[in-house]
Amino acid sequence: MKKVFVILLLIIVGYFLAGTFNLIPFGENRIAGNDQGEKVASYYLHNTKEKTSVANVVTAIVVNYRGFDTLGEVTVLFLATTGLGSILFRRKEDDEEVERINKPSSSLVTTGSRILFPLIALLGIYVFIHGHLTPGGGFQGGAIIATGFLLMLLSYKNFHASHKALTWVESLAGISFVMIGFWGLISSNSFLQNIPEVGQLNQLLSGGVIPVIYIAVGFKVAAELTGVLDILLNIKPKK
């Protein structure tokens, strides 16, 4: 009986969603405009190249035009990690050792992951260093590095990410983001203002402070996701 009501509700919701999006034609050019800010998207597309010299417009929006928003987003991620830790926190009794739930892996898996882990970390670092030139950036690169740590956590029973090191990396990255923001505030009267010498388009050293911020975000996201994985995998099994 309940399922009938739910399916009826889903049909109504689906009908109105489809009706709404039927009014928005797919693939229509709604952002055509000049570079004077007639449409916000066309303003970004026409001015990013000259004003920030960052090749990836999405990076320019995320880190520069909406950089304050990204600072809030990073804060939300930090709060989620802290909340996770405080929800699952358990004082360790002296005699019992925290046990990993998964079984020990075979030597094939452990050797393979030992070879793969540095390569995965290198790929993640590449992705967030080139965040202003290629598709990618701090969040994606951080997530890739965290998958490398997940591989190690799954294949080695005794592998633990050092929480002290994770906290240090996370704090330093967050502080450097805020400090870059204050640097912009002091030097050009606006929080997170980019410095004027932005460099050449499509060079590694271009975009002013944008790559620096994205590298900080990459380290922060990697540390936070690794912390989340470590907490979730190290839950003591119920006796």
User: Nearest approach, Cβ of 83 to other proteins (angstroms)?
Assistant: 5
Name residues contacting other proteins, limited to 141-200 (CB under 8 A).
Answer: none
Name residues contacting other proteins, limited to 20-39 (CB under 8 A).
Answer: 21-22, 24-32
Q: 13 or 122: whose CB is closer to other proteins?
A: 13
The two three-digit tokens of residue 233, written as one number: 């995998």
CA–centroid distance for 200 within its chain: 26
Q: 46 or 163: whose CB is closer to other proteins?
A: 46
50 counts as binding other proteins under rule CB under 8 A: no
Question: What's the CA gap between 192 and 198, in Å, rounded?
Answer: 14
The two three-digit tokens of residue 37, written as one number: 């800010």
Among 88, 165, 185, 204, binds other proteins (CB under 8 A): 88
Dihedral sign for Cα atoms in the order 188, 190, 196, 198: positive
62 counts as binding other proteins under rule CB under 8 A: yes
Q: 169 or 225: whose CB is closer to other proteins?
A: 225
Question: What's the CA gap between 85 and 79, in Å, rounded?
Answer: 10
The two three-digit tokens of residue 213, written as one number: 């911020």
Q: 19 or 108: whose CB is closer to other proteins?
A: 19
Question: What's the CA gap between 93 and 136, in Å, rounded?
Answer: 43
User: Nearest approach, Cβ of 194 to other proteins (angstroms)?
Assistant: 16
CA–centroid distance for 64 within its chain: 16
Q: What's the DSSP call for residue 226?
A: H
Element (H, E) at 225: helix 210-233
210-239 footprint of other proteins as x/- string (CB under 8 A):
-----------x---x--x--xx--x--x-
The two three-digit tokens of residue 122, written as one number: 């290198």
User: Nearest approach, Cβ of 85 to other proteins (angstroms)?
Assistant: 9
Among 45, 109, 116, 154, binds other proteins (CB under 8 A): 45
User: Nearest approach, Cβ of 223 to other proteins (angstroms)?
Assistant: 14
Q: Are 228 and 163 in contact (CB under 8 A)?
A: no
Q: Which amino acid is at 216?
A: A
98 counts as binding other proteins under rule CB under 8 A: no
Question: What's the CA gap between 128 and 227, in Å, rounded?
Answer: 19
CA–centroid distance for 54 within its chain: 19
17 counts as binding other proteins under rule CB under 8 A: yes
Query: Where does this chain bind other proteins (CB under 8 A)?
Result: 2-3, 6-7, 9-10, 13-14, 17-18, 21-22, 24-32, 40-41, 44-46, 48-49, 55-58, 61-62, 66, 69-70, 73, 76-77, 79-81, 83-84, 87-88, 133-135, 137, 139, 201-202, 221, 225, 228, 231-232, 235, 238
